Amino acid sequence: MDPTLTVLLFSSVAAGSASLGALPLVLRERLPIAWIGWANAVAAGLMLGAAYALLVAGLDLMPVWGATGALLGIAFVYWTHAVSGTADLELNRLEETSPEYGYKVLLVNALHSAAEGIAIGVAMVESLSFGIFMALAIAVHNVPEGTVLCAILKSRGVRLADAAGLAVATNVSQVLLAVAAFAVLTAAPSAVTWVLGFGVGALVYLVVFELLPESYRQAGSTSIALVTIAAMGIVVLLSG
Ligand SMILES: [Zn+2]
């Protein structure tokens, strides 16, 4: 298969898997708040594992350039939150009815997914097998993230099928950025180190800034720490 089609296919699988996040809400009308925390912890751990795999892939390259890229990744996430007015947004508020809140949560999810798309794209440039691994890790991680988003949307009165569709829609940015990053880096391979670093910085910052802070309150520090580490450990083991 053409490499670009491979990127498109696997990043689309990742985006589509967000819809599976709606399944727990088929079984339960309302999710216990601890489940939201654990879903965030699983997503956070899988993202940390993905960041670790990217980091290892970049170690043989130019570490200083990679670190500079990581700073740019952090700055990108910081800047997008700042300009979109979402820096202090509580991301897991259920039954918050203002339309503005709904749009902001969707925007945050779309920006979050975009950074993950870049991670998939640069991993595909490293090698297609590594890229496919990255896309599948992000696909699994999109499921608990989809669960959290669907729980928020459902509590606002959105039908579950529509919530599942919106969870996938917020991941379209993941597909676009994966394909774009792959195309640009194939044409300009000298930028790979920077973009690997960018992916690591953005993923780790998203975890500590978006996913983990609220989860500690929702499910307790110990269980969140353990679930996060276990999820990360699985990706690290599989990446070896
Ligand atoms: Zn994520």
Q: How confident is the model at residue 54 (pLDDT cuts 50, 70, 90)?
A: very high
Query: What mean pLDDT do residues 74-93 have?
Result: 86
Ligand 1 centroid distance, CA of 73 (Å): 14
Query: What mean pLDDT do residues 60-66 have?
Result: 85
CA 105 to chain CA mean position, Å: 14
Confirm whether pTM is higher than 0.85. yes
Ligand 1 centroid distance, CA of 78 (Å): 15
| Percent of residues, the chain, with pLDDT higher than 90 | 79
Domain ranges of the chain: 3-239
Q: How confident is the model at residue 96 (pLDDT cuts 50, 70, 90)?
A: confident
CB atoms closer than 10 angstroms to residue 29: 8
Q: Which two tokens stand for residue 199?
A: 């992916």
Cβ burial, residue 224 (10 Å; 0-12/13-18/19+)? buried
Ligand 1 centroid distance, CA of 46 (Å): 8
pLDDT tens column, 217-231: 999 999 999 999 999
Average pLDDT, the chain: 92
pLDDT of 143: 96
Q: How confident is the model at residue 131 (pLDDT cuts 50, 70, 90)?
A: very high
What is d(CA 9, CA 6) in angstroms, rounded to the nearest whole number?
5
pLDDT of 204: 96
Ligand 1 centroid distance, CA of 96 (Å): 22
Query: What mean pLDDT do residues 152-169 have?
Result: 94
User: Does residue 95 carry a pLDDT above 80?
Assistant: no
CB contact set of 37 (below 8 Å; sequence gap of 6+) = 214, 215, 216, 217, 218, 219, 220, 223, 224
Ligand 1 centroid distance, CA of 114 (Å): 9
Ligand 1 centroid distance, CA of 141 (Å): 7
